[in-house]
Structure 1
Amino acid sequence: MDPEKVFHMTGGVGVTSYARNSSLQKKASDMVRHITTDTIQELFIKTTPKSIGVADLGCSSGPNTLTIIKDIVEAVEGSSHKILHPPPEFRVYLNDLPTNDFNSIFKALPEFYRELRQEKSGGSCIPSIFIGGYAGSFYGRLFPNNCLHFVYSSYSLHWLSRVPPALYDEKGGSINKGHVYISESSPPQVSQAYYKQFQEDFTLFLRSRSEELIVGGRMVLIFLGRRGPDHVDRGNCFFWELLSQSFAELIAKGEVEEEKLDSYDVHFYAPSKNEIEDEVRKEGSFGLDRLEMFQIESNNEDQKDDHAGKIISYGAEVARTVRAIQESMICHHFGEGILDHLFEHYGRLVDEEMGIEKIEPITFVIVLRKL
């Protein structure tokens, strides 16, 4: 299964869409907004370009991407006023895989521009913002040489370009039976295969962006990770283990064939701080200006609104978030008939485990500078 042809966040604005189930991702970007805006303000003051190229890699669909673009525009304009320099025009490149719902973003652009005009009603000039969609994998070149000043990517780089091929033997059988990701019972070759794929992908990402960014250009990258060297922890890895358990429940009820699960693995990897630093150093095109680990606080109280006036549990919210991300891949492999039951089980398991002990997924934000 080729993720580039299949993988995408659930489009549209329906109940299970990414647009309506990406609040956890927005919390993360909001928590580090000051890092994003400080970085691009520093870049603008040092370079003062007449035209500034900004790319959002893995933009997906929904309101989050245009919110961060608005923050970036306002940050640069604020800096231009402080140093009495004319604000630049903005060239905004929105990137995701070809299957992404770009139409939802384009449909939201009139409202985006209208809000900017309203905020400038006091007489200030409306900034020139040119926004386009650029379909393709960021594990490779996307843009011309030296056309970008700033790259932003939120909750995308933990997705690998493919499921590591070393997970399968010569006959195509999985060596990680019964699990969709690294688990306590996985043989050592599983974590080794995932780590090797991360190394290849992240190096290619850095090399590609080094060609597209100007010297001194910046990147702010936000993605899921893990605390230390152990691949199995009660964080991002544990959420995948609960999904494996949810599949197991459907197998026990005869709703999913065991062989189907054995041939399904996620193209995901949560790197450690040391692994990130090692790849940046080895690739050599960027200086690491900042690397911080943070965590979105969670609890197991029923307090989340589901856009319909109802209160849902934390587990149900997580289940909707994961479904909006994984639905395309699961439907392709298992069929869409299992989705409701699968994520009902999943949400319940998350709530049960949170009642025993907190699940604590961590996120990294890193700031890179093109050397």
Structure 2
Amino acid sequence: MKVEVDQILHMIEGLGETSYATNSTLQAKAIHKAKSVVQETICEVYYTLRHTESLAIADLGCSSGPTTFMAISEIMDAIYKVCNKLSYQPPELMFFLNDLPGNDFNTVFRSLTKYKKKVEEKGRKYASYYVVGAPGSFYGRLFPKDSLHFMHSSYSLHFLSQVPRGLEDDFGAPINKGNIYIDDTSPSIVIKSYVEQFERDFSTFLKLRSKEIVCGGQIVITFLGRSNLSPLRGEMSYLWGLLAKALNSFVSDGVVEKEKVDTFDLPFYAPAMEEVKKVVQNEGSFEFYQAQAFELNWDPFDDRMDDFVADNFLSGKNVAKTIRAVVEPMLTNHFGGEIMDALFSKYAMNVAQHLKKQKTKYVNFTLALKRKE
């Protein structure tokens, strides 16, 4: 499938039952897990820049809903605390909220008034802060040269700029048949194509950010990865495989054409930490300040990190809601919207059956990268 990612990669809009705003608990947990790294890093930037009077900060892939302002809150709190401790005047803060043009920016800015009220209720003397939208792909330039001090991105960089090249044969026929991502039945060329697309995209991302961020500035990135070196054994391969299984069951039932499934591939890649470090080192613009890994349950409402799932059917539904809020627009663009309710109901059952046997978790990486001199 030739997909124009810039046009169709966005979360479900609004505040409805299937919206991203209603189903972003997983993403909120990831932001919370990375909080200490974000706060420590922004304070380091503030010290490095010798207590500048203003800071320009970008959140790349801000999305919409309650998670949009979480990183802003953490950054403001960290700056407030360090300035209060040292009796410094807090710097003015400029926040740029970036996402693709299809993002629900209307919901974001309608929520801004409510967020400002929460800030006022804290009773703290924050410095002035400003919030503006910056639509566009972070695989292209977004900001002027040396204009930003700090960048943040959470749960965005596992999405690629495009479906990888090389997923068709010389005659244009799909070769990753029956799959929507890397799977046991995927030909080796499919794996190679995904790896190479990730390397190109992540290298491009770093190169462009190095032009936009000042020397001494830093970027904190949190994204999905995998614990195994082999792409075939990645945790996300299981998750997407269960969605492919649901789609293929619709093929068997005559609801979806086989060609439709064969020609759909996700613009997504969950790398191993070794792959991430390789790209950072080869691209050369940044050095590691911190690198951490953590796990989260597939079911964002399950806080038990052991191998027991209290209610696998409920967990299946919770996982399906989380994934639907993220990928339904892409699926609708390719398959049409009529099958979505039935598809995610089937997917929920597939996830429930999987969790009954194995409690698979999301592997997450948080990196703090400092621009080299």
- Give, in whole Å, the separation in 1 of the partners of 2:325 and 2:168: 27
Shift of residue 234, structure 1, vs aligned partner:
5.7
- Give, in whole Å, the separation in 1 of the partners of 2:310 and 2:55: 44
- Ranges of 4+ aligned residues in structure 1 off by more than 4 Å: none
Q: Which residue of 1 aligns with 2:164?
A: 164
Which secondary structure does the structure 2 equivalent of 1:337 belong to?
Answer: coil
- Taking a change above 3 Å as real, the CA distance of residues 234 and 348 of structure 1, as seen in their structure-2 partners, is farther
Q: Does the CA contact (< 8 Å) of 1:225 and 1:272 recur in 2?
A: yes
TM-score, normalised via structure 2 length? 0.94
Q: Does the CA contact (< 8 Å) of 2:58 and 2:152 recur in 1?
A: yes
Shift of residue 147, structure 1, vs aligned partner:
1.2
Shift of residue 300, structure 1, vs aligned partner:
2.9
- Give, in whole Å, the separation in 1 of the partners of 2:203 and 2:260: 32
Question: How is 1:117-266 mapped onto 2 (pairs within 5 angstroms)?
Answer: 117-120=120-123, 124-233=124-233, 235-266=235-266
Which of 82, 96, 103 in structure 1 is aligned with 2:85? 82
Q: Tell me the amino acid that sits aligned with residue 114 of structure 1.
A: K
Q: Does the CA contact (< 8 Å) of 2:56 and 2:147 recur in 1?
A: yes
Q: Does 1:278 align with 2:281?
A: no
Which secondary structure does the structure 1 equivalent of 2:223 belong to?
Answer: strand
Q: Which residue of 1 aligns with 2:305?
A: none
Shift of residue 319, structure 1, vs aligned partner:
0.4
Q: Tell me the amino acid that sits aligned with residue 369 of structure 1.
A: K
The share of aligned pairs that are identical, in percent, is: 39
Shift of residue 46, structure 1, vs aligned partner:
2.3
Shift of residue 105, structure 1, vs aligned partner:
0.6
Q: Does the CA contact (< 8 Å) of 1:232 and 1:238 recur in 2?
A: no
Which secondary structure does the structure 2 equivalent of 1:345 belong to?
Answer: helix
Q: Does the CA contact (< 8 Å) of 2:228 and 2:234 recur in 1?
A: no
Q: Which residue of 2 aligns with 1:300?
A: 309
Q: Which residue of 2 aligns with 1:330?
A: 331
- Give, in whole Å, the separation in 2 of the partners of 1:269 and 1:32: 20
- Give, in whole Å, the separation in 1 of the partners of 2:281 and 2:234: 29
Q: Does the CA contact (< 8 Å) of 2:8 and 2:102 recur in 1?
A: yes
- Give, in whole Å, the separation in 2 of the partners of 1:126 and 1:287: 31
Q: Which residue of 1 aligns with 2:368?
A: 367
Q: Does the CA contact (< 8 Å) of 2:94 and 2:131 recur in 1?
A: yes
Residues paired across the two proteins, number: 360
Deviation per CA, 1:269-328: give whole Å up to 9, x if none: 01111110010001111001111111014553249xxxxxxxx71111110111111111
Q: Does the CA contact (< 8 Å) of 1:29 and 1:154 recur in 2?
A: yes
- Give, in whole Å, the separation in 1 of the partners of 2:90 and 2:169: 57
Which 5+ residue runs of structure 1 have no aligned equivalent? 304-311
Q: Which residue of 2 aligns with 1:23?
A: 25
Which secondary structure does the structure 1 equivalent of 2:69 belong to?
Answer: helix
Which of 81, 97, 115 in structure 2 is aligned with 1:94? 97
Q: Does the CA contact (< 8 Å) of 1:300 and 1:313 recur in 2?
A: no
